[in-house]
Structure 1
């Protein structure tokens, strides 16, 4: 299907459309302007307009959002670097979609939802090359790279669980044991990882 004319044209112009939407929406933010001429400060705090007014008043963050949208939209519209553009676009549009369903935006969630769906379509289109990010190491990558060992994945999961435990059960009595657990697990992983790496190096030499 990817070699056929119309699917390729559909993807090219889909990139143009959602890229345009982001670039268009980014300009007012970069300029430091509101979406509307009226302030939303007088609206209830749980309304969309008050939320946007808060972001607008942040100044730097408002412009940062605009710049992020501008860059991702531009990269997506270049076509040549569209894979990177689609990856940059995903967390931004996912965030926008969740915002629109969290507040009363009337029909806006339909638009942002379609943009999110379009983003997933673009990622699916390039999945044969993007899957390298979640699959096993590519054939051209050296076997001596430490992060390829499953040891580090196991350690990462342990650190993840400990971090959650530290937050949920944090107290004066549990802080020290949890901190020691981090140090012990980290040191254990370091020793095992270095030994395995040196063994692998010796095997390569022989």
Structure 2
């Protein structure tokens, strides 16, 4: 297992998975922190049944609604930093479990599929980090690969850039445009990937 985790591409997949999950949380958190409704659809719309009433009740709590936003923002930020991703994952899992249970308990359609995929992906990261997290239940700690992509400044900077873009964009615009947000983050991530691959090829030529 450690040999597999030492390889470049599996580590790269983990890095970008953290970007995706963390970015999704940050994107959804800002509107709550601003003290606004999660959706622009009127809460009186009967076609959305108890689900809209549930979220409207949470929105009306004020402080609790913003607390949820800050919790998502912190978990997302820690995941995107890479260096503190394991702490972010520890915050992410209970939050996404709670969100998933809410979406399957109410008529939220495809949203439960999205939250379910986020939960499964988070559990996958939990398995990836098991050798490091097992110490939390008093099991012996096993050594992990010495070279880890998550410690490279490139990925820390990429996560920081994605985080700043997401926060600034959501502060300036209340309306939802996840395609635009994802597209910009995708380009940032693609640029980082191309830089890293170029660096890898350069080092090979130097040897």
Q: TM-score, normalised by structure 2?
A: 0.63
Aligned to 2:30: 27
Aligned to 1:102: 105
Secondary structure of the corresponding residue to residue 5 of structure 2: coil
Give ranges in structure 2 of 5+ residues lacking alignment.
Answer: 142-207
Deviation of the 1:36 alpha carbon: 2.1
2:125 counterpart (117, 122, 142): 122
Contact 2:49 2:107 in 1 (8 A): no
CA RMSD for the aligned pairs?
1.8
Secondary structure of the corresponding residue to residue 47 of structure 1: helix
Contact 1:26 1:70 in 2 (8 A): yes
Contact 2:43 2:52 in 1 (8 A): yes
Does the alignment pair 1:67 with 2:76? no
Decide which structure has the larger Cα Rg and report it. Answer: 1
Secondary structure of the corresponding residue to residue 79 of structure 1: coil
Aligned to 1:90: 93
Deviation of the 1:46 alpha carbon: 5.8
Q: TM-score, normalised by structure 1?
A: 0.63
Deviation of the 1:38 alpha carbon: 3.9
Aligned pair count reads 138
2:15 counterpart (12, 16, 34): 12
1:33-182 counterparts in 2 under 5 A? 33-41=36-44, 43=46, 47-136=50-139
